[in-house]
Chains A and B, each alone.
Chain A
Amino acid sequence: MKLQPPLTHCHVCLATIPYAPGGDPVECRCGVMARALVYPAIFRLRSESAGETIQTEGEAACFAHEDKRAVAACDSCGRFVCALCRIEWGSRVLCPACVNAAEKRTDLLVRSRTMYDTMALITAIGSLIIFTLSLFAAPVAIYLAIRAFKAPRSLVPRTMVRAWFALGLGLVEVGGWVWLLVFLVMKARS
C-alpha cells in the first residue's frame, strides 16, 4: 500500500510531491509546504476466507475478503462487504466490525442527528419578523423545544441554551397573543 491520490499531489499546482519520511516538511515547486505522517496500518494485510470470488477485473472487493465480490457498503463506516460479511440491521446494512462495536456503544452507529433546538430557535425568532406568523409559529417552536429536550442530542458537547431560549420566546409570544385576545374581549365588553 502507498499514499493514494490526491494526497500524493500538490493541491495547488498538481505536481507530484516527494514526501520526506518521518513527517518532515518538503517544499513543492509552487511554494506549498507539505508533509505526510504514515502509520503502520498502511501495511496491514487483509484476511482471506472462502466465498464468492471476483469474476472480472475492476469489480469492488470486500474489505475483509480481498478476492470476494462486494455486494454492499456498510452504512456506518463505508467499507465494502461481501455476501458473507453483510449484516442486515433493521433497514441498514452493516459490516461485522461495526456490529461488534455497536454491542458496546450504540452511539457508534449514529451517522446523523436532527437538531430540534436549532429548528425551535429559528422558528421562534423567524416569527418575530412577521408578528402575525407567531400565532402559529410560537406553538410550533414550543413543541420543537420540548422535543429537543426529549430527542437524542448531539454526540459532541452542545448546550441546551437554544432550546431554553426558544421555549422562553415561544411562551412569551403565546402569552402576548393571549393578552391581546383578553384585551380585545375586555375592550369589546366595555
Chain B
Amino acid sequence: MPQARSEYKRLPGGRSRLFRRDRLYLGPDHVLLVRSLSFSEEYRRFYYSDIQALVLQERPMGNRRLADWVAIGVAVAAIVALFVTGHPVWGALLSVVAVAYAWVAVRREDCKAWVQTAVGTAELPSLCRVRSARKAIALIDDRARVAQTPLPPEELSRALETPPPLPFQVAVSPPSPPALPVAAEALRRPSRLYVTGFLTLLALGAVKMYTALAAARSFPWALPIGCLVFLALTIVPLLRQGVKNIRGSRVVAVLTSIVITGSIGTYALSWATSENSRNAQDANTRKIYAMLETAAPLHVGLAVVLLVLAIWGLLAFLMAEEPSTGGSGAPLTLFGSDRL
C-alpha cells in the first residue's frame, strides 16, 4: 500500500529499552506517543485541545555524576594495570565494559514528564533527559496554547493552589500505622556487613600497596578471600532484587565491578596457588612465581584498584539518602538505594 507523506514530526528525546522504544511525534492536532515493540508499534494520541497540564520534574545528578567519575576512574586504572602487566585480553574486555558504562552514564535518564488530559494522566517516557524534554515541551506548549482559548493567568494559577494529597498519605495520620518490623527498618539503612566488607577491602588495598612499595611479602591468602567476599557483596543484591528491578544504568556498573573483582580474584587465586607450589620441583612454576613477585606495576595496579573500589563503596554509602516519606524498603547496595 503506497503511503502518503507522514504528517508527523519527531520531537526531541527518546527512550530505548531492550525490546521497547518510545518516541514522541508532533501531529497537526495532537501529540502522538509511539511505543515500538519488537514487531509492532502502539500509538497513543493527546489532542492539543484536550491537554490540561504538562509537568516536568528534573532530578539533581550531583551524587550520581561523582559515582560515574569514580567508576570510570576505577575502570581506567584497571585497564592500565591489566595492559601494563601483560593481560591485554582482560584489558580489552574491561575497556568494552568501561566504554559501555560511560555511554550509559552520559545518556542517563534525569527527568520525568507527564501530560494530564480529561481522561487521566500519562507519563511521556521519551522525555527522560532534561535538554530534550525542555525542547519537546516548549514545542508542545506552543501548539497547545494556539489550540486553546487563553484564560487569565490568575485563573490558571488556581489549578496549582492546593494539590490533593496522595491517598496513602491521608491514611497515614489517623490511625497511626503499626511499627515496621525490625528487619524492614534494617533494610533501609546501609548494611553493616557491606561497610565491613568495604573496610576489609580498604585494608587489603593498603597492605597490597605497602607490599608493592616496600617489596615486602604480603599475606597470599588475604587477597583471594577479600575478593571473594567483595564479589559476594556485589552479587547478593543482584539475587535479592533481581536483575529486572535494577536500572539499566546500574546493571553496567554492577557488571563492571564484577569483571574487575573477578579479574583480581582469578589472578589472586592463581597467585596463591603458585605460592603453595613454590617449593615444587617444577622449574616453570618457580619461574612464574618469581616473575609475579617482581612485577611491581602489577602490585601497584592491584592496590590502586582495591583502594578505589573500597573508597567508591564507602562514598556510595555515605552519600546514599533514603527519603523520609515512602521508601520501597530496598536494601542499600554498592550503588546506593535502588528506589529510583
Report if A and B associate in a common complex: yes
Pair B160/A34 contact, Cβ less than 8 Å:
no
- Cβ distance B282 to chain A, nearest Cβ, rounded Å: 44
**Residues of B close to A155: CB separation below 8 A:** 6, 8, 32, 34, 41, 43
Q: Which of chain A's residues has its CB closest to B25's CB?
A: A156
- Cβ distance B186 to chain A, nearest Cβ, rounded Å: 21
Does A38 make an interface contact (CB < 8 A)?
Answer: yes
Pair A11/B163 contact, Cβ less than 8 Å:
no
Pair A118/B53 contact, Cβ less than 8 Å:
no
Size class of the contact patch on chain A: 35 or more
Within 8 A of A (CB), among B57-104: 57-60, 62
Query: Which of B52, B121, B148, B166 is in CB contact (< 8 Å) with A14?
Result: B166
The CA-CA distance from A14 to B57 in the complex, in Å, is 12
**Residues of B close to A71: CB separation below 8 A:** none
Render A8-52 as a binary contact track against B, CB cut-off 8 A, 1 for contact: 111111111111111101001011111111111111100000000
Does A86 make an interface contact (CB < 8 A)?
Answer: no
**Residues of B close to A40: CB separation below 8 A:** 148-151, 155-156
With A10-B57, A11-B57 as known contacts, state yes or no: A115 contacts B39, CB within 8 Å: yes
The CA-CA distance from A79 to B44 in the complex, in Å, is 13
Within 8 A of A (CB), among B288-340: 323-326, 339-340
Q: Which of chain A's residues has its CB closest to B137's CB?
A: A37
- Cβ distance A161 to chain B, nearest Cβ, rounded Å: 14
Render A167-190 as a binary contact track against B, CB cut-off 8 A, 1 for contact: 000000000000000000000000
Render A88-122 as a binary contact track against B, CB cut-off 8 A, 1 for contact: 00000000000000000000101111111011001
Pair B8/A3 contact, Cβ less than 8 Å:
no
- Cβ distance A160 to chain B, nearest Cβ, rounded Å: 9
Does A56 make an interface contact (CB < 8 A)?
Answer: no
**Residues of A close to B39: CB separation below 8 A:** 114-116, 118-119, 122
- Cβ distance B156 to chain A, nearest Cβ, rounded Å: 5
Within 8 A of A (CB), among B143-169: 144-145, 148-151, 153, 155-157, 159-167, 169
Query: Which of B114, B117, B151 is in CB contact (< 8 Å) with A43?
Result: B151
Interface of A is mostly: loop
The CA-CA distance from A5 to B326 in the complex, in Å, is 15
The CA-CA distance from A128 to B40 in the complex, in Å, is 23
Pair B45/A2 contact, Cβ less than 8 Å:
no
The CA-CA distance from A11 to B340 in the complex, in Å, is 9
With A2-B163, A112-B40, A118-B39 as known contacts, state yes or no: A13 contacts B325, CB within 8 Å: yes
**Residues of B close to A43: CB separation below 8 A:** 151, 155, 159
Pair A79/B119 contact, Cβ less than 8 Å:
yes
- Cβ distance A143 to chain B, nearest Cβ, rounded Å: 15
The CA-CA distance from A63 to B50 in the complex, in Å, is 12
**Residues of A close to B118: CB separation below 8 A:** 41, 44, 63, 79
> What are 7 A-B contacts defined by CB distance under 8 Å?
A9-B163, A15-B325, A21-B156, A21-B157, A77-B119, A116-B39, A157-B6
Apart from A37-B144, A156-B10, 18 more pairs, CB < 8 Å:
A4-B121, A5-B121, A5-B166, A7-B121, A13-B323, A16-B163, A20-B160, A33-B57, A34-B56, A36-B53, A42-B159, A77-B45, A79-B119, A113-B43, A114-B39, A153-B1, A155-B41, A155-B43
Q: Which 3 A-B pairs have CB atoms at the shortest separation, nearest pair first? A: A21-B157, A8-B163, A31-B60
Residues of chain A whose beta carbon lies under 8 Å from any beta carbon of chain B = 1-23, 25, 28, 30-44, 63, 77-79, 108, 110-116, 118-119, 122, 150-157
